[in-house]
Each structure stands twice: as structure tokens, then as C-alpha cells.
Amino acid sequence: GHFDVTDNFSRLREPDCILICVPTPLTEKMEPDLQYIEKTTHSIKKNLRKGQLIVLESTTYPGTTEEFVLPLLESTGLKVGKDFFLGFSPEREDPGNKNFTTAQIPKVVAGVTPSCKEAVTALYSQAVHQVIQVSSPRAAELTKLLENIYRSVNIALVNELKMLADRMGIDIWEVIEAASTKPFGYSPFYPGPGMGGHCIPIDPFYLSWKAKEYDFTTRFIELAGEINVSVPYYVVSKIIDALNERRKSIKGATILILGVAYKKDVDDARESPALAVMDLLQKKGATILYHDPYIPSLPLFRKYHFKLKSSLLTEKLLRRMDAVVVVTDHSQIDYPWIVRHAPLVVDTRNVTKGLDRWKKKIVKA
């Protein structure tokens, strides 16, 4: 067949099209870390031949394709738009969402030159039903950032309102459900234990960093980031208060984290708010266990290292916990059964809605 898998970069001369899909994390100083794009581009540069199309798909700041990737490739002496073609087309995917296949999701594309744009469009038209051309790679790069910043800002809004509503004694989930009945001018977003995944918690800061080059401060983006980072601390404070009301201390408490993936029904825990919650609880002296049907053991993460394996859910396990904290609302978990057997359930996802029979041992966070 035509499909092959290799880690031999010398074979990069063989394909006609090369897609760069590598991580774009942040440094400890919250600045763009382009080392993976840089190393990959150097590998392509060593093997670049005439006629090849290179497309960057990794989320990054506006200007990366033309200011960073292009000079490296043109240092070979080959000319973009004539000898080789270069474009940008951001990834668009929603892990766990079975309603959209790759072919159904419109693909935004841009080329460094008109001939580059034609080549990128021709490539993706083979696999995607609708290809959306934009004027430049910078416009395409900002398109992806806007999509993720839109989610980041709106999630921060509902998380802040959740904390306010809690003080006011109002159920934020009821409010969102009611607001969602408005047929225009409103799109529901839902609060949670924080923001996770390898895109939305990170990507907005790429634009904040680039904006400084233009003497511009992205206050909205940075405020949203501050709020979303603070939510795990709020969740931990709610756990501490709930234990305190039951005359228990967080120090020495045994707590089960239910779900460590960054979103429901996926097996990816990168940047998951569960990790921050677990770390904070451990630092306060709690013993942590977790259950996640999609993640049998926790790998080594960039900031955290938990030597833990997923615990088997049993009545005996639930009864000996001081608290069970619902962080990720996986579909296959029987939440009424959890609530029935656990002494205390801290719910960050509204999975206990309607379980009024056990409301005395349910705390929303």
C-alpha cells in the first residue's frame, strides 16, 4: 500500500507533501517553545527537494510560518513558490466527539505565495469536503488562536460566575440551563475544575507573547488565563470546607479522584485540571487515589509525576474514602451508584443533578 510509518528522517525526500504536526508548549516563563517546530524544520531542510509541499499544522503565533519556518527552508538555496511550496493549515479536531469526522470539518488553508496556496488547497481537497482559503499564513495562524481563545475566555467567564453563584447560594448549572433556552445571541459554556488539554490552556499565551512585539497587552486573554488557572485552587478549598464540616482534616484524608483525563471519554490527561487538584491535595497532606477507565496508569507529565495506577471501583473502596471528587465526567461511570456508597462526593461536573435523595453528602465545586 501507500501507507508507511518510519522515524527515519532521511526518507523525507520521498513524499511529495510533508505535514508538520508537533507540540507547541510553553516554557516555564510562559513563552512559546518552538523547539519541536525548529528541530523538525531542520530535519526537512536537510532533505528538502524541488517540488515538495510543506504544511505547518501546529498551533502557533501569527508569523511563525513566514518568519521562522520559511527562512530555514530557503537557506537551502531553493525558492518558495517556485522550487518548493509552503503553507499553514491549523489542526481542527475534537477528541471524543463522534459527530464529526475529519472529512466533515472545514479546513482553513493559506500559502506563502499564490502557487503555495493552490498546492495546499489541492492537497486537502482530496480528504476534506470544504477547504477555506484565507489571504496569508498569518491570518490562518490567528484563526486557530481565535477559535481556542474564544473557548478559553468563555470558560473563564462561567467559572468565575460559578464561584460567585456559590457565594450567592445559586445553582449555576440551573442558570446556564435556563439561559440556554434563548434561541439567539447565547451559546452555553459549562464550568468545571479548570481547563485542560494540550491546546486551550496554552495557545492563548502564544498570542499574548506575540502581541508584546506590537506594544499591545492582551488583557482579556491574560485575565481568562488567570481565572482558569485559579479554579483547581477553588475546588480544593471546597473539598477542605466539606471535610471540615464533617469534622475531618485534609491532612491524613484519603481522597479518590474520579476521572483524570482532560475531558470526558478520552484517554489524554495532558494539562488536565485533575493533575493540579491532585498535586494541591497531596501538598496539603491528603492521600490520593484515582479511577479512570481510559487511563490505567499516570505517565510522567511536564510538571507532575504521580506514581499511581487506576483503582478498581468497588463499594469497599468508596466506603473507605473520606471524599470522592468528580473531576472528569466519563459517560460509563454509574454516578448514582458512586453517590450511594461514598460518604462525601464533591461534584465539579454536575453529574449528581437530580440525586436529591443524597444531597446532604453532595457538594458542588
Burial 216-246 (b: 16+ CB within 10 A, else e): eebeebeebbebbeebbebbbebbbebbeee
Determine the pLDDT at residue 302: 76
* 37-63 per-position pLDDT tens digit: 999 999 999 999 999 999 999 999 999
142 within some domain? no
Cα 215 to its chain centre, rounded Å, is 28
> At which residue does the C-alpha cell 478520552 appear?
266
152 within some domain? no
Residues 200 and 338 in one domain: yes
Residues 111 and 183 in one domain: no
- Residue type present at position 186: Y
Q: Minimal CA–CA distance to 56: which of 100, 18, 99?
A: 18
**How far is the C-alpha of 328 from the C-alpha of 266, rounded, in Å?**
10
Residues 108 and 240 in one domain: no
167 within some domain? no
* 60-76 per-position pLDDT tens digit: 999 999 999 999 999 99
Number of domains in the chain: 2
Decide if 199 is catalytic: yes
**How far is the C-alpha of 290 from the C-alpha of 269, rounded, in Å?**
13
Residues 270 and 326 in one domain: yes
Residues 207 and 327 in one domain: yes
**Catalytic residue (one of 17, 21, 116, 199):** 199
Residues 232 and 124 in one domain: no
1 within some domain? no
- Global pTM reads 0.89
140 within some domain? no
* 129-141 per-position pLDDT tens digit: 999 999 999 999 9
- DSSP track, 207-252: HHHHHGGGT---HHHHHHHHHHHHHHHHHHHHHHHHHHHTT--STT
pLDDT band at 195 (very low <50, low <70, confident <90, very high): confident
Q: Which residues form the domain of 357?
A: 172-364
CATH number of the domain where residue 225 is located: 3.40.50.720
* 259-287 per-position pLDDT tens digit: 999 999 999 998 899 999 999 999 999 99
Domain limit, last residue, from 116, 134, 152: 134
95 within some domain? yes
Residues 246 and 113 in one domain: no
Burial 104-136 (b: 16+ CB within 10 A, else e): eeebbbbbbeeebbbbbbebbeeebeebeebeb
Residues 217 and 338 in one domain: yes
Q: Average of pLDDT values for 184-198?
A: 89
* 203-249 per-position pLDDT tens digit: 888 999 999 999 999 999 999 989 999 999 999 999 999 999 999 99
Residues 176 and 315 in one domain: yes
**How far is the C-alpha of 302 from the C-alpha of 271, rounded, in Å?**
9
**How far is the C-alpha of 340 from the C-alpha of 28, rounded, in Å?**
43
Residues 187 and 253 in one domain: yes
Q: In DSSP terms, which residues pair with 297 in a beta bridge?
A: 309
